[in-house]
Amino acid sequence: MDAALILVVEDERTISNFICRALVSAGYKALPAATGGEAITLFFSHRPDLVLLDLGLPDMDGLEVLQQVASDPQRETPVIILSARDRESEKVKALDLGADDYIVKPFGVPEVLARIRTTLRHAERVRSATHGEKKLSYRVKDLTVDTARHQVFVGEKEIHLTQNEFKILELLCLHAGKVLTYDFIMKEVWGPYTTGGNQILRVNMANIRRKLGENPSEPKYVLTELGIGYRLLEEG
């Protein structure tokens, strides 16, 4: 398999060079871009497998680049935001616009590489599901979710979930490793016109955790991204 090509959109040359060297050392191919305009041109001419995107670019806001990348009709290219902006509202906006993950600067190389691996695996799962190869069973530690039979097990014990609770868990399984915003989950489970905030989601999630025997302060399966949404741990 060819090495994944990663477009690195970062205007600070020192940081860009550092990231590119780390990517090449990890077995990836790196393609640097210093402006939003250059990033968009390189994206459509080289079709990278993943984009690392800084939001503070000299010619435009990185969110404009994200919107163009996310609207590409030919393929769904995953995007990881690397930004000094750490407000929850910024993270939610980027994730709702199509970003797959959000890493706040300063960051460590091991964390970035781990998020890249997770995001590429998630993108492959989504592509397989889109092409009719939807996975039917997911396993996270001792949790097993059988989407074909609508069954959930913790170890050998079957866990009985309501229809909406199962929908939430199934959605998290499909996107394992990715942060799903409250708004995204609400629209997927209750429809695009749901109103009333995310209290109903929080109640359902609390019920799911209780039934799975999970302590929210020490989660085994579902991580809470405060003010943003939820992330299911990857399979393993």
pLDDT tens-digit map of 166-197: 999 999 988 888 889 999 999 899 887 676 67
DSSP 124: H
- Whether the per-residue pLDDT at 132 is higher than 80: the answer is no
Per-residue confidence (pLDDT) for residue 144, from 0 to 100: 93
Highest mean pLDDT of the ranges 11-25, 100-114, 132-146 = 11-25
- Whether the per-residue pLDDT at 62 is higher than 80: the answer is yes
Positions of E strands within the chain: 5-9, 29-33, 50-53, 79-83, 101-104, 137-140, 143-146, 151-154, 157-159, 180-181, 222-225, 229-232
Quote the mean pLDDT of the chain: 88
The fraction of the chain above a pLDDT of 70, given in percent, is: 93
Per-residue confidence (pLDDT) for residue 135, from 0 to 100: 67
0.75 exceeded by pTM: yes
In this structure, of 13-27, 119-133, 156-170, 182-196, the range with the lowest mean pLDDT score is: 119-133
In order of their start, the domains of the chain are 5-127 (3.40.50.2300), 137-232 (1.10.10.10)
Nearest in space to 49 (alpha carbons), one of 10, 20, 6, 82: 6
Structure tokens given for 236: 């393993």
Q: Which residue has the higher pLDDT, 110 or 193?
A: 110
